[in-house]
Amino acid sequence: MFGVLIRIDAVTKRYPDGTVAVDRLSLDIPDRAITVLVGPSGCGKTTTLRMINRMVEPTEGSILLDGADIRQQPVNSLRRSMGYVIQNAGLFQHRTILDNIATVPRLLGWSKPKARGRAAELMERVGLDTSLAKRYPYQLSGGQQQRVGVARALAADPPVLLMDEPFSAVDPVVRKGLQDELLRIQDELGKTIVFVTHDIDEAIKLGTMVAVLRTGGRLAQFAPPAELLSEPADTFVEDFLGADRGIRRLSFFPSDELPLQTGPLVRLDADAAQRTARSDAPYLLVTDADGRPLGWAEPDRPLDRERLLDHGRPFRPGADSLRTALDGAVLSPTGWAVAVDGDGRAVGVVSQQVIGEAIRAAHGRAGAGVKAAR
């Protein structure tokens, strides 16, 4: 599917005091994809990242970029070909937002107007209002600063992006926004991204490939996130993934094959005859005249908009995963999840039991798929 851009070959980093930060690590980092290095503190993930742009030199082993040893080119030109994003952004507090973003183009010898023009372009790409261009970093929120950090890393259009826990210092809502933004930018630009985090959820959300490292700098497992969740290599990986690994794995199963029932859908203005016609269902999903769900009602009682049971959060077949569908069913007092289309109109309902059968079927297929791939 992907070529290999960065090959980390049996790399060890041993410090003079004898500490081993990275221990004979080999990784093939795929081209134009996000590779996440994840693990507890002290697992050598940041050291590994810093060896890729030679901020740390390996004690043994070598790192190849596009087939050539990274030590073959001057260190500063290597670094200028790799965008770098860190926690708290590491912006230059004495430079305007525009000049922060223009840093690497300027280092590469671009003229000031050209570099600033490019910087303004990037502000838009990462979702920053260009009215912020003349501001200084202290005038921006943490989330905005982090966007500037991403824009600065992208400024010279480097093929590689190194990201060292870039979203760890912002609050969860902002973090989710930044993660979605990164995935969107990656869809457009297709960079080779190496992303370090200690947050397994972030790793699973962002990674095309995820490398789980254990304390002492050894590789525990290197696999796509779905495979990590279904077949953790050992108890360390299993523990690191956490207790709800099974639920999280459902994020990788699509919901478009769920059999939806349309029988229980009724409009609020339906008469008694229409309702009893559908009375084989334990509950009716009441919708407004446009078909948007309002709530659940029992079939043998008159419809009263004030007395409907909450329908929980609906899911969109195709766009959402089985996890969202199951979540909707669990949250609904009736145990049924509501499926809606892109405009929010109800297209059917599905019970927990049916979702459960779909999960078992999906597991069966995924298990066969993983075995076939080997």
Are the beta carbons of 20 and 45 closer than 8 angstroms?
A: no
Nearer to another protein, 161 or 237 (CB): 161
Query: Where does this chain touch another protein (CB under 8 A) — which range of 102-110, 171-179, 305-313, 314-322?
Result: 102-110
Q: Which of residues 58-97 bind another protein (CB under 8 A)?
A: 75-80, 82, 84, 86-96
Task: Please pick, from the candidates 11, 101, 162, 354, the single residue that binds another protein as defined by CB under 8 A.
Answer: 162
Say whether residue 120 binds another protein (CB under 8 A): no
Task: Please pick, from the candidates 120, 136, 316, 345, the single residue that binds another protein as defined by CB under 8 A.
Answer: 136
As measured in angstroms, the least distance from the Cβ of 111 to another protein is 17
> Could you give the C-alpha distances from 11 to 24, 80, 114, 217, 371, in angstroms and in order?
5, 23, 40, 10, 30
As measured in angstroms, the least distance from the Cβ of 63 to another protein is 15
Residues linked to residue 339 through DSSP beta bridges, in sequence order: 315, 348
Element (H, E) at 161: strand 160-164
Say whether residue 53 binds another protein (CB under 8 A): yes
* Total residues at interface with another protein (CB under 8 A): 33
As measured in angstroms, the least distance from the Cβ of 53 to another protein is 6
Nearer to another protein, 86 or 303 (CB): 86
Nearer to another protein, 162 or 182 (CB): 162
Sheet holding 82-86, edge to edge: 82-86, 160-164, 192-197, 34-38, 209-214, 218-223
Nearer to another protein, 83 or 232 (CB): 83
Residues in the chain: 374
Query: Where does this chain touch another protein (CB under 8 A) — which range of 138-146, 267-275, 293-301, 309-317?
Result: 138-146
Are the beta carbons of 245 and 218 closer than 8 angstroms?
A: no
Task: Please pick, from the candidates 111, 141, 274, 279, the single residue that binds another protein as defined by CB under 8 A.
Answer: 141
**Both structure tokens of 70:** 């990274």
Say whether residue 126 binds another protein (CB under 8 A): no
What is the rounded CA–CA span in Å between residue 196 and residue 189? 20
As measured in angstroms, the least distance from the Cβ of 30 to another protein is 22
Q: Which amino acid is at 131?
A: S
What is the rounded CA–CA span in Å between residue 260 and residue 336? 11
Residues that bind another protein (CB under 8 A): 53, 55, 75-80, 82, 84, 86-96, 103-104, 107, 136-141, 149, 152, 162
